[in-house]
């Protein structure tokens, strides 16, 4: 079974600064996807960024980028130029690409990020 | 696009009653829907996966007679918590996916269920 660990329950950052959220995972799979989801106070989960394990290049989506270290099974999220609207719970998630057509997400416990003005 | 509506957003009811939660894909056809449960300060735990027109596949440890899932159309799935008890109190979230496989999951706003 896969496990996803987010070791930082809470973090805070000043507006316009950069913050990095940590995520490690454990799997014996070689082919998988990793995700960061954002859950703002309104509660709807939103996909922030996605990384395919077979790609060495780190994914980037505007102010959001990841540092994917496959050998270390680490997948951190960097948020640059933090904005007040980035305040949310951030979940790291793993999806293995085997075992059928319904690919399931395994989530970490989340990191509550607060962006301070 | 890709809006998922979940209803109700909050429900409070007495122990022993059954509660139905609806999950609708508003602007796309959801061939697959997922139901999650989220405890305070915990991650989302997948309860079951349902493909339209098929019986739901439940995760280990989830009672299928307790949590009835129906996915009768491409835009609607329902989760019924039967004979709910206080330990069933939780936040329930659905997600919907079109085409299956690696297509992104679109999440609903969630339902806060409180059993007195």
A60-97 pLDDT tens trace:
999 999 999 999 999 999 999 999 999 999 999 999 87
Say if the Cβ atoms of A44 and B104 lie within 8 Å: no
Say if the Cβ atoms of B57 and A42 lie within 8 Å: no
Say if the Cβ atoms of A44 and B109 lie within 8 Å: yes
Interface check B107 vs A, CB under 8 A: yes
Instruction: Give A3's contacts in chain B (Cβ within 8 Å).
Output: none
Find the range with the poorest average confidence among A105-114, B12-21, B47-56, B72-81: B47-56
Q: Using one digit for the tens of pLDDT, what is the confidence trace for B102-112?
A: 778 899 999 99
Interface check A55 vs B, CB under 8 A: no
User: Among residues A115, A106, A114, A112, which one has the least CA distance to residue A24?
Assistant: A106
CB within 8 Å of B69: residues ≥ 6 apart: B35, B48, B50, B56, B77, B78, B79, B80
In the prediction, which pLDDT does A102 show? 63
Say if the Cβ atoms of B46 and A101 lie within 8 Å: no
Interface check A103 vs B, CB under 8 A: yes
Q: Using one digit for the tens of pLDDT, what is the confidence trace for B24-80?
A: 999 889 889 999 999 887 889 999 999 888 889 999 999 999 999 998 899 999 999
Q: How does residue A101 score in pLDDT terms, banded at 50, 70 and 90?
A: low
Average pLDDT, chain A: 92
Interface check B93 vs A, CB under 8 A: yes
In the prediction, which pLDDT does B2 show? 80
| Residue reference for tokens 């918590």 | B81
């Amino acid at each position: 079974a896969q496990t996803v660990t987010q070791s930082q329950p809470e973090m805070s950052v000043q507006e316009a600064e950069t913050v990095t959220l940590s995520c490690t995972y454990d799997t014996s799979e070689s082919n998988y996807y990793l995700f960061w989801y954002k859950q703002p106070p309104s509660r709807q989960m939103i996909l922030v960024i996605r990384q395919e394990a077979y790609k060495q290049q780190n994914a980037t989506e505007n102010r959001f980028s990841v540092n994917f270290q496959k050998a270390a099974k680490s997948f951190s999220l960097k948020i640059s130029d933090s904005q007040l609207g980035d305040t949310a719970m951030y979940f790291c998630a793993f999806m293995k690409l085997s075992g059928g057509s319904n690919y399931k997400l395994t989530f970490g416990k989340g990191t509550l990020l607060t962006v301070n003005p | 696009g890709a809006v998922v509506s979940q209803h109700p957003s909050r429900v409070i009811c007495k122990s022993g009653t059954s509660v139905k939660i609806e999950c609708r894909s508003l602007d796309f056809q959801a061939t697959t829907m997922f139901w999650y449960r989220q405890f305070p300060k915990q991650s989302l735990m997948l309860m079951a996966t349902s493909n339209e027109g098929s019986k739901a596949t439940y995760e280990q440890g989830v009672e299928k007679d307790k949590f009835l899932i129906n996915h009768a159309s491409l835009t609607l799935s329902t989760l019924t918590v039967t004979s709910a008890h206080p330990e069933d109190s939780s936040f329930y979230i659905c997600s919907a996916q079109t085409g299956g496989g690696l297509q992104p999951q679109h999440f609903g706003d969630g339902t806060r269920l409180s059993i007195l």
